[in-house]
């Protein structure tokens, strides 16, 4: 029995022995002008075989039993290809009869039409194959029997598709092959494209996945759902994109249910299962940097969010009165803890959780005055809401009567709630007007909670059902909140939980409802790394965990990790405010938050650079060190930007941990101790309770902490110099200081800021007034 909104695993349809199967046979009718042809598909069934007291199912050729005899014995279906860039190749594989002119991209994922670009490519055609060659990639289409082969620019084999003639298993149904399954109950067709995996291959991505960072041996059911924590295989934010340590990757352009079986069913096979009538695959080659740059060029990148959003967000579930909000804001200032955002969760409505977009008049009188008063003290306000409207919600009837809700049988909602239909332009305008009204009245950000439960049984204004719209719903939801906020304030930021491919264009997203355990803290980091490798530059998480009141020891270890992510929010079951613990913890909390505010010039400079390339701020070590074998195995450390490495301490009993440092030399930012890269080191967490390192040759600009980012003195910059040269003032001519008028800060050019000189390294803090006239 499948429960409502339970993940839909379409790969199980390939196990149904009553289905008919079609397997790729040969490429026909190839046209070099359109780069398209047709593939012949051979008809198969699965037949029971009994041997040595064991029954199994194996493939066997079969004839068609369809009537009338208009249905071909061996269908010939469209196959087309496109050269997107030197390192990206696109193929479309039809699962039913369809013309190229009928193929339209309706997902909303792509920001580029991704049509054929032959520049830099050479094409050779022989009787056996068609070969496309660029400096970075070679693609071979072998005609008969058909196969698709991917090589790097030097001709080294990276992967190829798997077909019946390539079977290596004793039983011909064990190893997945490229195949269509025709379900005899639903009459639906699903497709599988199977790629070879090497014995030591590692796979990364698939969205915000809480499981082991290396996805080899796992199956990712790419279906957005409320994960209810971070200790399972469920996804808030699935993304059908994966990269391999062997230098290739793939993206499945779809919003339909999809499954990536990454060597779990059969170790040497990566099975891509798709629900669309045409499989639209993008294939990549290169380093992790190159592949992510290309992927985000195709699916979009985030603009850098406003400066204030990088400060601390203080929250709990939930502040329920104006007095409570103002008391927390005042206490943060009294305790001299930097903070930029106060978030009010579900409690700002008259009835808790009942989203009607209106402040409670009894508990939040004169909300505009409250917002104005807090703004004068350097605060921004964030508000919670969701797109589900319960029957007692005064807006419920309006949504249903106007057709703004997802419909079901008879036009009524298919669930108890009225779920806003973002595919209906009028419904989207209605919703965005409510968001714009809040932003126009001084609110700075909207928490776009939920969004993972678009009903499979629903019918949408787009004309599609939930198979097409369920996974697309988070993308449209994120887009609506982001656009409404931008239109009202000129600043683009949301606080989103659900996502799909393309949602990275609408930052920021957070990791959902983490449990209050060390295991959940580690899983949260893995999730952030996986999401970053899926194109998301900006990300956050509930510091200390969400589900229960935070244990002080865990909260203390989680806090520095939370400060060294792009966005930082303390949220969850109360208390989250540090003074409810004790004085010692409050002082530690202040020190740790101040550490992030000191780094704000570095964070903003790295964020701008990352957003421009589609790179994550939280990165696995191998992202910049792909040639270092050990870096591919580390999943409990990360790079924060290019030049800072953080290693959270997860165990309650530890105040130090083993840290692996990539090649080069690294400086402990708390002690100035120098460590050789390429080795493991036991390092104390220090006052921060987390080892933090700076890469040799780096100049990290710092500022004095302030109560909010709006009060930072950007004229006085501290340069933390990891230099190979003695001295201080003479260095400044080597560093290009530039002023960003759009965000009002200085940063150091990371290229010209690389130090050169003697063989030894000196790390020191040098104080200097950086002036606009120093620009080079």
Catalytic annotation, pick one of 13, 294, 417, 452: 452
Contact 300, 475 (CB under 8 A): no
Q: What backbone phi and psi angles, to 5 degrees, belong to 563?
A: -75, -30
Beta-sheet pairing, 445-448 with 380-385: parallel
577-586 long-range contacts (CB < 8 A, ≥24 apart) are 577/314, 577/316, 577/328, 577/331, 578/335, 578/337, 579/331, 579/335, 581/552, 581/555, 582/552, 585/552, 585/555, 585/556, 586/335, 586/337
Helix (H, G, I), strand (E, B) or coil at 731: helix
State the catalytic residue, choosing from 152, 208, 261, 449. 449
**CB 281 within 8 Å of CB 250:** yes
Q: Say how far apart CA 540 and CA 524 lie, in whole Å.
A: 9
Residues in the chain: 776
Check 152, 201, 421, 513 and give the catalytic one: 513
And the tokens for 593? 């938050």
513: annotated active-site residue = yes
Could you confirm whether 449 is annotated as catalytic?
Answer: yes
d(CA 36, CA 20): 26
Please compute, for residue 491, the number of CA atoms within 13 A of its CA located in the half-sphere on the CB side. 19
CA dist., res. 668 & res. 676, Å (int) = 11
Interacting residues of 509 by C-beta distance below 8 A, sequence separation 6+? 208, 237, 495, 496, 497, 499, 503, 531, 536, 538, 539, 540
- What contacts 24+ positions apart, CB below 8 Å, involve 371-378? 371/441, 371/442, 371/443, 372/442, 373/326, 374/325, 374/326, 374/329, 374/342, 375/442, 377/329, 377/333, 377/707, 377/708, 378/340, 378/707, 378/708, 378/709, 378/710, 378/711
Kindly list the catalytic residues. Answer: 449, 452, 513
């Amino acid at each position: 029995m499948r429960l409502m909104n339970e993940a839909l695993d379409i790969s199980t349809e390939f196990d149904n022995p009553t289905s008919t199967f079609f397997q790729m046979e040969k490429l026909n009718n190839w046209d070099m002008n359109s780069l398209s042809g047709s593939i012949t598909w051979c008809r198969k069934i699965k037949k029971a075989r009994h041997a040595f007291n064991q029954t199994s199912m194996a493939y066997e050729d079969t004839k068609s039993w369809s009537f009338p005899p208009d249905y071909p014995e061996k269908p010939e279906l469209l196959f087309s290809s496109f050269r997107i860039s030197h390192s990206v190749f696109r193929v479309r594989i039809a699962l039913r009869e369809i013309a190229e002119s009928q193929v339209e991209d309706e997902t909303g994922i792509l920001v580029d039409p991704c049509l054929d670009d032959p520049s830099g490519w050479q094409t050779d055609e022989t009787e056996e194959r068609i070969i496309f060659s660029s400096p970075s990639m070679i693609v071979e289409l072998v005609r008969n029997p058909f196969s698709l082969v991917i090589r790097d620019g030097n001709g080294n084999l990276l992967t190829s598709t798997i077909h019946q003639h390539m079977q290596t298993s004793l039983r011909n149904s064990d190893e997945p092959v490229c195949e269509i399954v025709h379900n005899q109950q639903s009459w639906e067709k699903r497709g599988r494209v199977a790629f070879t995996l090497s014995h030591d291959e590692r796979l990364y991505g698939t969205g915000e996945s809480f499981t082991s960072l290396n996805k080899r041996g796992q199956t990712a059911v790419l279906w957005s759902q409320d994960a209810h924590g971070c200790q399972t295989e469920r996804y808030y934010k699935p993304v059908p994109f994966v990269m391999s340590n062997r230098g290739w990757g793939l993206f499945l352009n779809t919003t339909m249910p999809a499954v990536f079986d990454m060597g779990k069913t059969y170790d040497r096979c990566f099975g891509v299962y798709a629900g669309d009538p045409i499989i639209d695959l993008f294939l990549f080659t290169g380093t992790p940097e190159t592949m992510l740059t290309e992927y985000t060029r195709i699916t979009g990148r985030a603009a850098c969010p406003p400066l204030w959003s990088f400060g601390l967000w203080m929250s709990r579930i939930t502040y329920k009165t104006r007095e409570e909000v103002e008391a927390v804001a005042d206490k943060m200032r009294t305790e001299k803890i930097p903070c930029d955002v106060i978030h009010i969760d579900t409690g700002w409505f008259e009835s808790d959780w009942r989203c009607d977009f209106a402040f409670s008049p009894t508990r939040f009188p004169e909300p505009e005055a409250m917002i104005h008063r807090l703004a004068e003290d350097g605060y921004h306000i964030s508000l919670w809401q969701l797109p589900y409207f319960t029957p007692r919600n005064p807006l419920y009837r309006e949504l249903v009567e106007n057709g703004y809700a997802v419909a079901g049988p008879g036009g009524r909602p298919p669930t108890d709630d009225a779920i806003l239909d973002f595919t209906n332009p009028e419904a989207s305008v209605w919703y965005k007007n409510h968001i714009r009204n809040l932003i126009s009245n001084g609110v700075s950000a909207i928490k776009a909670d939920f969004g993972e439960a678009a009903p499979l049984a629903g019918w949408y204004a787009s004309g599609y059902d939930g198979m097409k719209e369920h996974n697309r719903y988070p993308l449209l939801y994120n887009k609506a909140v982001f656009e409404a906020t931008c239109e009202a304030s000129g600043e683009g930021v949301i606080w989103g939980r659900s996502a799909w491919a393309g949602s990275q264009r609408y930052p920021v997203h957070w990791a959902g409802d983490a449990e209050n355990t060390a295991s959940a803290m580690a899983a949260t980091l893995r999730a952030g790394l996986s999401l970053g490798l899926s194109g998301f530059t900006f990300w956050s998480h509930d510091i200390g965990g969400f589900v229960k009141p935070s244990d002080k020891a865990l909260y203390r270890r989680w806090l520095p990790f939370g400060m060294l992510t792009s966005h930082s929010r303390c949220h969850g079951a109360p208390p989250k405010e540090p003074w409810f613990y004790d004085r010692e913890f409050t002082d530690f909390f202040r020190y740790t938050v101040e550490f992030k505010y000191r780094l704000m010039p570095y964070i903003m400079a790295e964020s701008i650079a990352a957003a421009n390339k589609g790179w994550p701020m939280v990165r696995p070590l191998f992202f910049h060190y792909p040639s270092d074998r050990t870096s591919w195995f580390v999943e409990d450390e990360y790079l924060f930007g290019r030049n800072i490495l953080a290693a959270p301490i997860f165990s309650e009993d530890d105040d130090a941990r083993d840290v692996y440092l990539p090649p080069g030399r690294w400086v402990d930012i708390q002690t100035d101790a120098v460590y050789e890269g390429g080795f493991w080191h036991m390092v104390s967490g220090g006052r921060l309770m987390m080892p933090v390192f700076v890469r040799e040759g780096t100049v990290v600009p710092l500022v004095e902490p302030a109560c909010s980012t709006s009060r930072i003195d950007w004229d006085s910059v501290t340069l933390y110099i990891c230099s190979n040269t003695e001295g201080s003032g003479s260095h400044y001519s080597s560093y290009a200081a530039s002023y960003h008028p759009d965000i009002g800060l200085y940063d150091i050019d990371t290229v010209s800021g690389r130090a050169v000189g003697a063989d030894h390294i000196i790390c020191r803090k040098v104080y200097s007034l950086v002036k606009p006239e120093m620009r080079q």
